[in-house]
Chains A and B, each alone.
Chain A
Amino acid sequence: MTLDFWHRFDRAVRGLTPLALTLLLALLSVVPLRIPGFAPITPALTVIAVYYWSIYRPDLLPLIAIFLVGIFQDALGGTPLGSSSLVLLLVQAVVVAQRRFFHGKTFLVEWWGFMLVAPGALLAGWILASLYFGAVVTPKPLGFQLLLTIALYPCLTWLLARVQQRLLQHA
């Protein structure tokens, strides 16, 4: 019985990994790197994470977790509270709707899908920020931010895939 309890406890803790990692990425995206001109074009790490987990383990990153990640990110970043939640929820909705399409496809197809989702996510964030501030926020950093985010996708998802293999095989 104790064994059974520990077994379940272990599974539950492992099941929290996607949420913990996504929160960590939100935290990392505000760490000052002191690279000239980098802060405005910091890649959207949480969009990558939400996209990835929504394809592979949507059960371990449920809607409420995505919502909390967004709130956390907005609170730290000073962006309108709720805007990141909304963007991340939309990313999840799009991916889950197309999940059958992604299933069992190669990495390139997955990356290509991300190239379609990421611009939408950044654009949605931009529209929300502009509406919130009641002024057209300069869209200049978005192009570079998009390129960086797409370029970082293979590296970051490689790491996430390692974690998934190690920890979540049976979770």
Chain B
Amino acid sequence: MARLALPVKGWVQRFGFLLLVGVSIGLMILGRAESRIVEQLRIAVTDAMAPVLDVVSRPTAAVAALAEEIDALVNLRSENARLRQDNERLRQWHAAARALERQNAVYATLLNVVGDPRPAFITARVIADAGGAFVRTLLLNAGARDGVRNGQAVIDGDGLVGRVVETGRRSARILLITDLNSRIPVVVESTRVPAILAGDNSDRPRLTFLPVGVAVEPGERIVTSGQGGRLPPGLPVGEVFSLSDGVAGVRPFVDWHTLEYLRVLDYALPGALPSTRPAGRAGPLR
């Protein structure tokens, strides 16, 4: 019996290994081909773990807040001087903006402009900074029950962070604009040149599909174009920084490591077509 048991055990072990390797590969293929099923599985796991992550991510947030507090105390004087200058400058901008707003309102009435709907928003906390070396995603502690839906834009005070790609009941996954699979329709703010902002997992997404023969200058601001109707137009994204052999890089306004509370914009153009297929996180643009 004992003589027989050992080879059988080894055989079962080897068979089990091959079976599980096969299942892993199968899951990857399934994820590529029929991402719906795999997505459901993923959502189920993240949804179940959301309350745990919510708790676990709090201490690190507290420590980060303390470090910021200490930093602020140390730099109090220089910070104060800088803010005074900023305040002076912003007061002038404020006056200019008020005047322009009034002027704009007058023109809009004269021309009978159809206004963009103002997006409502949901504020949520980042509970996981997932992905490691290969993907750039975040998890938020708000989901379908809070009104989050796939495709919605996610911003912080500085600019566009990403889009919602998976929605569970109480958690949602954000695909950052730096991710390999992120494609955002944008325009150059001053010249209105359209382009697609394509992530490549680095901190500097690229501007692609620029019209032929159009030059983009470093330092120009990039904002969302609102084309496709899924993202509100005019959200600040970043500024152009390098132009090496025809490739324009964009330095996002968002400070990636300080993200804590984010706003999910509930923006729906009246009459915009609902997406027939929910945006999957994986897979190329189809």
Contacts and interface: CB of A to CB of B under 8 A. Distances in A.
Interface of A: 27-42, 44, 63-64, 66-67, 70-72, 74-83, 85-86, 89-90, 93, 122, 125-126, 128-129, 132-135, 137-138, 140-142, 145
B28 to A, nearest CB: 4
A74 B273 CA distance: 32
Interface of B: 13, 16-17, 20-21, 23-28, 31-32, 38, 41-42, 44-46, 49, 52-53, 56-57, 60-61, 64, 126-139, 173, 180-181, 200-202, 256-260, 281-282, 284
Given A63-B16, A137-B180, A79 B135 contact: yes
A142 B181 CA distance: 19
B129 A31 contact: yes
Contacts of B128: 30-32, 76
B120 to A, nearest CB: 26
Contact of B201 (A72, A76, A137): A137
Contacts of B46: 75-76
20 contacts: A30-B130, A34-B60, A34-B258, A63-B16, A76-B46, A77-B137, A78-B42, A79-B132, A79-B135, A80-B31, A80-B282, A81-B42, A82-B26, A86-B24, A122-B133, A125-B134, A129-B133, A133-B180, A141-B132, A145-B133
Nearest to A83: B28
* Chain B contact residues: helix, strand, loop or mixed: helix
Which of A39, A71, A125, A129 has the most B CB atoms < 10 Å from its CB?
Answer: A39
* Chain A contact residues: helix, strand, loop or mixed: helix
A115 B23 CA distance: 28
Given A32-B126, A34-B64, A78-B42, 8 more contacts: A27-B49, A31-B56, A42-B132, A76-B49, A78-B131, A80-B28, A80-B282, A132-B32
Nearest to B19: A63
